[in-house]
Structure 1
Amino acid sequence: MGSGAAVGLLTMPYINRVLGPEYIGKVEYINTIINYFLLFTALGIPMYGIREISKVRNKPAVRAKILTELLIILGVTSIISYLLLFGVLYNLNYFASYRDIILIMSSMIFLTNIGAEWYFQGVEDQLYITLRYVGVRILMVILMFLFIKSSDDSDIYAFCIVLTSCGANILNFYVLSKIIYRERKSIKLLNVRRHIKPILTMFIATISVSIYLYLDYLLIGMLADDKNIGYYSVANRLVRFVISFITIIGAVMLPRLSFLYKEDKELYFVYLHKSFTFLLLASLPFTVYFLVFAEPIINLIAGKGFESSILTMRIISPLCIIVSIAYFMGFLILYPQNKEKIYTYATLISAVFSIAVNFFAIKYYQQNGAAVVGVLSELLAIIIMSFFLKKNSMLPKLFSGNFYKIITASFAMLLVSIPLIIFFQKGILYFVLISLCSWGIYLLTLILLKEKETYHMLGRLIKTVK
């Protein structure tokens, strides 16, 4: 996930300038549609699989059985998905100009499902995940710079997105095949039906989140045009790239928290509090950074022709903190405790709100309307989850003195950043220097206030150097 974000940040300035907002919008539009098909085939298995595999990570035979059962479900849903995709969508005249891109990006359905990324996350094999993805994404960067030379190369860009997202899953499938073959004698009396109810519960939550995660692209394409998708895509992808880095904290902690909630609840709450602190430490300053530095960021990453993305980025900047808190409540509190229904209700209500308001917002305000609705939808989900958590006494004490230290450091960063960006915005060098200054103020304030986790990491760093 993190390597994908890094690759995106590296290649975006080049791709944005070569393809332009219209052709980027075209690829992103089809990418959105394919992602809906992916959601259908997954049926909530990615998150469910992480939890179930993490519970039995010390039992290879049981792991292999769960893996086989879930892969069977994915196989069936993949076939249905392809029948719908090519039987209906591919033959509609409306998508005639998109057919080549649809054909290329449809391979994501097969590659994603055979890769079973959730299995490796469940057993916490982070080294394997990282090395494999880094290798594939280095290859993708080389292909982009070698073969994408003009707006006519949008098909190659679509292929590169496929390679980035799930090209490494071919290797996954080889490893998984060996695991299943090794435990084949232990895999008896498969019970696929036992997974249906929990994965459907998670599926409703996943599809609800994705409605306001991807619906904006779909509706901008229907109610505005491909250029507006391009403007929205640049701002949204940059913010989402950073969010993907931040939520790595949660993705890494989810298997451990699922295991600890079952085995050691006291340690579970210790790790839960640490996770919350790290999420805040990362998300609050990035919210400030995108809000204040939107203009130079867009100019650097996208260049001329994308000025309309500046306001969009400022509108969606709060998503860094909002999504982090929603992720914390939904996946680090509710999901390990088997209370995913609460998360499902919250996201379902937010999705209905998003659908109802987006038609009006996008019709009159294009990508900026979608940005406002996206922020409000995520915020609504947090409010609903908070209500249920407090009502059921499931929300641990989080707002300690340490929390206010992080708030203070972020506010100090904001106060310093505003005059810097007003008086010293004169080029890339100045942008880099004032960015470093802003982040330096944030870090220095955390140290002076003796923020718990920062002070702890600083102490370990000094000890290591000595």
Structure 2
Amino acid sequence: MQINSKINKKPNIKINFILNVLRVLSAVILGVITMPYLNRVLGVEYIGKVEYVYTIINYFVLFSALGIPMYGIREVSKNRHNNKELYKIVLELLVILFITTIISYLIIFGVILQLHFFNDYKDLIIAMTGMVFLNNIGLEWYFQGIEKQGFITVRSLVIRSLTIILIFYLINAPADYKLYGFLIGGFAFSANILNFILVGNKILKEKISFKSIDFKRHLKPIFTIFAATVSVSIYVQLDNFLIGFFCGDKYIGYYSLANKLVRNSIVLITIIGAVTLPRLSYLYANDIEQYNKYLLKTLNVLFILSLPFSTYFFLFSKGIVNIMGGSQFEQSILTIKILSPLCVIVGFAYFLGFLVLYPQGKESLYSKATIYSAVSSVIINLFIVKVFKHNGAAVTAVFVEILAIMVMLYYIKKRKLVNKIMSKNLKKIFLINGGLLLLFLFIFNFFPFNQSDIMLFCTVSGSFFVVYFLILLISREETTLELFSQYVIKNKN
């Protein structure tokens, strides 16, 4: 498959959106399809054990990647019309990744595996360490930057389909948890080797001299972004680590089910942001008027998607847990309710951080906001997890995300970085979701239904989204009406 053969050709944002949806949706489907099976076969304790090690390894993935995944998208996007400079930048970033990857493995094998505390996890850690190397050679930031994502989408669909098949074929008992760890930590990233080979060939064709390499010029911006990335990671993943440290693997299992479902939904919601980031970075530098238009339209879409997901998780948490985990995960029901607002909160935080501050080169302000939140997360979790376990961690997760938003809004307003973002249309979206929440709570109060009945649950919960989008259409919400006019009425004609 030929990729990036015409970098100068203007990318189609709609196609990129569809490709991103397919790629991210495939990851979500992998989780949704395998989660009920794995939760019942491995059980809450072994699921918790794998999640605990995954959290540890993922910290090394983040450390070794520094801020390159986000920085790389911006720099590749800015230089995609100059092949020589583009592939020089890619090579320089790969050199940095090579160095940080070696350092990560030295720490894992020289420190982590030597600690007595990790004796029960050694085999699992070794099985999942491939994730560090394979993630760093994936170069997805390059493909996103040039807005040519067909190849990585096809590759992702193929490898994730194989992962689903292997999980059902190979994971049959609790003793298979190490093999499961390998599948999600190693095999699931194995196709990244193809990315590296294809981009490596393009670098070689440019015949870039090693003497001309200047990776030092990237250090300041990537470390600035890295500070924000690590800070976010602290309050997104520290909860898993502390739950395991203070409470045990079982409680990680409870928290993992709820957190994974909500976070997977958030990934789907922020697809629109990931697609528009390269375009927004380009427009801010070249057409500020179009930048503002894209920005407001993106915010509308983020809220249209995020608000119903938050409402859905709050209303249908019992049925969701019954399907995805069974009776042994009953303690996850309240956790999902507590985490449900994150769909809206994280979506808005993503908008402020990566679509407002980042394209404007204000990533240092985003870093400050996330550092404040990370420090708060550490302090609060150290006390609350011991008492309230997984539910305490859920409360903290919601609080620190709100804190990050408040800090970013303060900086944005103080420096007048954007025009007024609240509009009549946004108010309409909030009112519709608030009314829908009250409507379903009223119905459930007078006409309760058995959420353990899978067919009935799917019918009722599915009707929630149907009703929601019908109300959006009837109320003539701008974005919904525009999409309906473009894709439904137009196709009929």
Show the counterpart of 1:256: 279
- CA–CA distance in structure 2, aligned partners of residues 62 and 187 of structure 1: 13
- Are 1:318 and 2:341 counterparts? yes
Percent identity (aligned): 49
* Matched-pair contact (CA < 8 Å) for 2:137–2:196: yes
* Matched-pair contact (CA < 8 Å) for 1:137–1:164: no
Q: How does 1:102-251 map to 2 (within 5 A)?
A: 102-163=125-186, 165-185=188-208, 189-251=212-274
Q: How does 1:372-383 map to 2 (within 5 A)?
A: 372-383=395-406
- Which of 443, 449, 454 does residue 469 from structure 2 map onto? 443
* Matched-pair contact (CA < 8 Å) for 1:293–1:421: no
* Matched-pair contact (CA < 8 Å) for 1:2–1:245: yes
Show the counterpart of 1:268: 291
| AA matched with 2:261 | L
- CA–CA distance in structure 2, aligned partners of residues 164 and 454 of structure 1: 39
| AA matched with 1:301 | M
Show the counterpart of 1:434: 460
- CA–CA distance in structure 2, aligned partners of residues 215 and 324 of structure 1: 20
Show the counterpart of 2:449: 424
Pairwise CA RMSD of aligned residues?
1.3
Instruction: Report how far residue 449 of structure 1 moved.
Output: 1.1
Query: SS where residue 156 of structure 1 aligns?
Result: helix
- CA–CA distance in structure 2, aligned partners of residues 36 and 110 of structure 1: 13
- CA–CA distance in structure 1, aligned partners of residues 211 and 475 of structure 2: 58
Measured against aligned partners, the alpha-carbon deviations of 1:104-131 in whole angstroms (never above 9, x if no partner) come to 1111111011112111111112222211
Measured against aligned partners, the alpha-carbon deviations of 1:289-325 in whole angstroms (never above 9, x if no partner) come to 0011100001011112000000000000000000000
Measured against aligned partners, the alpha-carbon deviations of 1:226-276 in whole angstroms (never above 9, x if no partner) come to 000000000000000110101111011111111111111111111111110
Instruction: Report how far residue 132 of structure 1 moved.
Output: 1.0
Measured against aligned partners, the alpha-carbon deviations of 1:198-224 in whole angstroms (never above 9, x if no partner) come to 111111111000000110011001110
Alpha-carbon distance change, 386 to 144 in structure 1, aligned in 2, over 3 angstroms? same
Aligned residues: 466
* Matched-pair contact (CA < 8 Å) for 1:295–1:310: yes
Instruction: Report how far residue 421 of structure 1 moved.
Output: 4.3
| AA matched with 2:387 | Y
Show the counterpart of 1:309: 332
Measured against aligned partners, the alpha-carbon deviations of 1:345-387 in whole angstroms (never above 9, x if no partner) come to 0000000000010011100000000000010001000000000
Instruction: Report how far residue 67 of structure 1 moved.
Output: 0.4
- CA–CA distance in structure 2, aligned partners of residues 35 and 268 of structure 1: 34
- CA–CA distance in structure 2, aligned partners of residues 382 and 395 of structure 1: 15
- CA–CA distance in structure 2, aligned partners of residues 209 and 164 of structure 1: 26
TM-score, normalised to structure 1, is 0.98
Query: SS where residue 328 of structure 2 aligns?
Result: coil
Instruction: Report how far residue 2 of structure 1 moved.
Output: 3.0
Query: SS where residue 305 of structure 1 aligns?
Result: helix
Show the counterpart of 1:353: 376
Q: Which moved more, 1:222-231 or 1:418-427?
A: 418-427
Instruction: Report how far residue 399 of structure 1 moved.
Output: 1.2
Query: SS where residue 142 of structure 1 aligns?
Result: helix
* Matched-pair contact (CA < 8 Å) for 1:409–1:443: no
Instruction: Report how far residue 436 of structure 1 moved.
Output: 2.0
Query: SS where residue 57 of structure 1 aligns?
Result: coil
- CA–CA distance in structure 2, aligned partners of residues 178 and 187 of structure 1: 16
Instruction: Report how far residue 396 of structure 1 moved.
Output: 2.4
Query: SS where residue 329 of structure 2 aligns?
Result: coil
- CA–CA distance in structure 2, aligned partners of residues 162 and 170 of structure 1: 14
- Are 1:399 and 2:422 counterparts? yes
Query: SS where residue 129 of structure 1 aligns?
Result: helix
Structure 2 gap ranges (5+): 1-23
Structure 1 gap ranges (5+): none
- CA–CA distance in structure 2, aligned partners of residues 189 and 2 of structure 1: 40
- CA–CA distance in structure 1, aligned partners of residues 182 and 28 of structure 2: 17
Show the counterpart of 1:455: 481
Show structure 1 runs of 4+ deviating over 6 A. Answer: none
Query: SS where residue 212 of structure 2 aligns?
Result: coil
* Matched-pair contact (CA < 8 Å) for 1:115–1:170: yes
Alpha-carbon distance change, 227 to 185 in structure 1, aligned in 2, over 3 angstroms? closer
* Matched-pair contact (CA < 8 Å) for 1:231–1:308: yes
TM-score, normalised to structure 2, is 0.93
Alpha-carbon distance change, 103 to 30 in structure 1, aligned in 2, over 3 angstroms? same
- CA–CA distance in structure 2, aligned partners of residues 453 and 167 of structure 1: 39
Alpha-carbon distance change, 123 to 164 in structure 1, aligned in 2, over 3 angstroms? farther
* Matched-pair contact (CA < 8 Å) for 1:212–1:377: yes
Q: How does 1:407-422 map to 2 (within 5 A)?
A: 407-421=430-444
| AA matched with 1:159 | F
